[in-house]
Amino acid sequence: MKYSSDVEAAEAMKVAYDKIRSEIGNVIIGQDEVVKGLLTAIFCQGHCLLVGVPGLAKTLLIQTIASSLDLNFNRIQFTPDLMPSDILGSETLDQNRNFKFIKGPVFANIILADEINRTPPKTQSALLEAMQEYSVTIAGAKHALERPFFVLATQNPIEQEGTYPLPEAQLDRFMFMIQLDYPSYAEEVNIVKNTTNDVRYQVKKVVTSEEIMDFQHLVRRVPVTDHVIEYAVKLVHKTRPAAGLAVKDTNDYLDWGAGPRASQALILAAKCNALLSGKYSPDIEDVKAVALPVLRHRIIRNFKAEAEGISVDDIIARLV
């Protein structure tokens, strides 16, 4: 650790975050909350799922973040014919007829899983071990992935033909589900101005892999008071129908609630949100600030909620 104290490290993390935001802002216009969510997931050593209609620069955003970090980056375009070995790698015979492992694109620091819902469950599940254990197993041999390691996946919510929705078990591995919305009128004017000329900004690398890992350890060392942890756990328990802390909206509109990973993600994300806001310990407002991206993919609406047009975000807002 190159910092003399955690306070110094916290200040360095805030400076690094501001530098990354500034660098990304030279390419991506608007989407401030989306950028903050992605960077929060990275600093918490979590994975992120971006959901948005085509043309909202989901892929460009992830590529720009990867360019601002001194990390190896690979993009995997998910298609219906993609096989697990196309992601993980495979054993092949070399010139001496000995088996040799050829690494797949998953062996990088940042993986862009583009349109992850376009490939069948067999191939989607190839990422499960990598996301949870930071390793892959090929032909009985375990291969560790280089750290830090992040999966940043994109998904199109409106085009369902030829897609395979992610199973709940894999959705739970993503720390955040972040939804991208259309830009405002003023933002779109700037986007058109910046992308229809012949000038392309070269993103500079502003943070190293060692600094990112230092910040990840720092986030876990941030102290949290018991009442903040209890608030986060109660919030998760409120999402579980027929549970002791379930409220009327939960029993009326939800089939399934969030599991313990949600409680862990709420606290980790709240710690990071506090540091990025210049605080040294999270409060309940920090938990509320990260509740939507942490919970929205971990709870399942019932038919009544769909029939009445009540979204998952509406239910979470009521619970918060």
Q: What is the pLDDT of residue 263?
A: 95
Name the token pair of 185. 């009128």
SS3 of residue 265 by DSSP: helix
DSSP per position, 49-85: EEE--TTS-HHHHHHHHHHHEES-EEEEE--TT--HH
Q: Which of 158, 141, 164 lies closest to 88, judged by CA?
A: 141
Q: What is the pLDDT of residue 230?
A: 95
The rounded distance, in Å, linking the Cα atoms of 102 and 104 is 7
Give per-residue burial for 43-73: e unless 16+ CB within 10 Å, then b: bbbbbbbbbbeeebbbbebbbbbbbbbebeb
Q: What is the pLDDT of residue 1?
A: 53
Which neighbouring-strand residues pair with 91?
Answer: 101
Q: What is the pLDDT of residue 162?
A: 66
Block residue for tokens 């960077």:
39
Whole-model pTM?
0.88
Contact call for residues 88 and 136 (beta carbons, < 8 A): yes
Alpha-carbon torsion, ordered 205, 208, 214, 219, to 10 deg: 30
Q: What is the pLDDT of residue 161?
A: 65
Contact call for residues 40 and 272 (beta carbons, < 8 A): yes
Per-residue model confidence as pLDDT tens for the chain (320 residues): 577 788 888 898 999 999 999 988 888 888 888 889 999 999 999 999 998 887 787 888 888 888 888 888 899 999 889 998 899 888 787 777 777 888 889 999 999 998 888 888 888 888 888 888 899 888 788 888 988 999 999 887 766 666 788 888 888 899 999 988 888 898 889 888 888 888 888 888 888 888 999 999 999 999 999 999 999 999 999 999 988 888 888 888 898 889 999 999 999 999 999 999 989 999 999 999 999 999 999 998 989 988 998 889 898 998 88
